[in-house]
Amino acid sequence: MERRNEQTIDFETGKRVVVMTGGTAGLGAHALNYLATQSDMKMIVGARGSGRTVPSGVEVLPLDLASLASVRAFAEMVKRWLGTIRIDMLILNAGMQYGNNERKSEDGYELTFAVNHLAHYLLVRLLLPCMADYGRVVITTSDTHDPAIAPIAPKELALQELAHPTKTGFGTGIRAYAASKLCNLMTAQYLSKLKEVADHHLTIIAFNPGFTGGTSLGRDSSPFSRMIVTVLIHTVFRLVGLFRPEYVMGKPDRAGKALAEIAMGDITPPEGRMYVSLVRSKATWPDPSALAQDGDAQEMLWRESEWMVGIKKEV
């Protein structure tokens, strides 16, 4: 591992090009490390702040997903630096879970919805034209989107309430998180049906790493919320995990390796499947929740998000 400053990219021909978010911590850092062990990779990671530690050879470009202007600037920088070179793997893995739904993004949207969904929606819209034929787009979602697995999962898609919540208080942070992960999954599904995706033979995959310990996902939650989660992990989840394997906690290195393997095509979807869920560290291909599969709801999310990020007339 070494510290890198911003520098020019030498794009040798024959390298597979990876553009990634969420590669600086948690399971994404493990994915990035695994990708970096492959000799034919050229990787760009979007990350907040400066002086981020990444594997040797990985380029870091500034990206704060809490700002749509930053997402646009990142996409422009990626395009400029790539020139005519195409992206083989676009890995949209960054995500955050906050203690409540009271924080706002730079653009005035609820922060979880803005960072986890809107920013990635905009990024994939801006970078899709730069994808190489037969490339892969992987969007990290969560099985917390599914009411059959997580009681806090949304039963309806109330977009204005997600973007500008009127109900606040205890439990709203985790609910906002689950809803944002539903949006990630629905975005992936809508994307997979686009003509340009078929024309360029792109594979779109929504990845659920499953319940994974040892990451910093809930680091912005209050000490009280973190204590409740810790107690749940050591009591209720252990018991439920005896008959519901989705509640068995996995390790970040396993989840990260799986993410890298999915992006590289070493794990491939069976015919007609695009949602991969790690259960006891194994890739399974379940149905998303009924709401996640609802084509009308996907269409509404796509169109409303288009307005929210301001690309209605641009893309």
* Nearest distance from C-beta of residue 85 to ligand NAP, angstroms: 23
* Nearest distance from C-beta of residue 278 to ligand NAP, angstroms: 9
Q: How many helices (H) and strands (E) does the chain have?
A: 12, 10
* Nearest distance from C-beta of residue 251 to ligand NAP, angstroms: 10
| CB of 9 or CB of 25, closer to ligand NAP | 25
| CB of 4 or CB of 48, closer to ligand NAP | 48
| CB of 26 or CB of 165, closer to ligand NAP | 26
274 three-state secondary structure: coil
* Nearest distance from C-beta of residue 84 to ligand NAP, angstroms: 27
| CB of 24 or CB of 298, closer to ligand NAP | 24
* Nearest distance from C-beta of residue 60 to ligand NAP, angstroms: 11
List CB contacts of 288: < 8 A, sequence separation 6 or more. Answer: 145, 146, 185, 189, 206, 275
CB–CB of 105/226 below 8 Å?
no
* Nearest distance from C-beta of residue 30 to ligand NAP, angstroms: 8
The angle at the Cα of 193, spanning 188 to 195, to the nearest 5 degrees, equals: 125
Q: Which residues pair with 19 in a beta bridge?
A: 44, 90
Q: What is the DSSP string of 81-127?
A: HHTTPPEEEEEE-----BSSS--B-TTSSBHHIIIIIIHHHHHHHHH
CB–CB of 217/27 below 8 Å?
no
- Give the integer Cα–Cα distance in Å for 270 and 171: 36
Closest CA to 289 of 117, 149, 138: 149
Q: Which two tokens stand for residue 15?
A: 């390298």
| CB of 47 or CB of 82, closer to ligand NAP | 47
* Nearest distance from C-beta of residue 199 to ligand NAP, angstroms: 28
Residues that bind ligand NAP (CB under 6 A): 21-22, 24-28, 47-48, 63-66, 93-96, 115, 140, 142, 181, 208-209, 211-212, 215-217
| CB of 208 or CB of 305, closer to ligand NAP | 208
| CB of 31 or CB of 202, closer to ligand NAP | 31
What's the Rg (C-alpha) of the chain? 18
> Which residue of the chain is nearest ligand NAP when measured via CB?
26
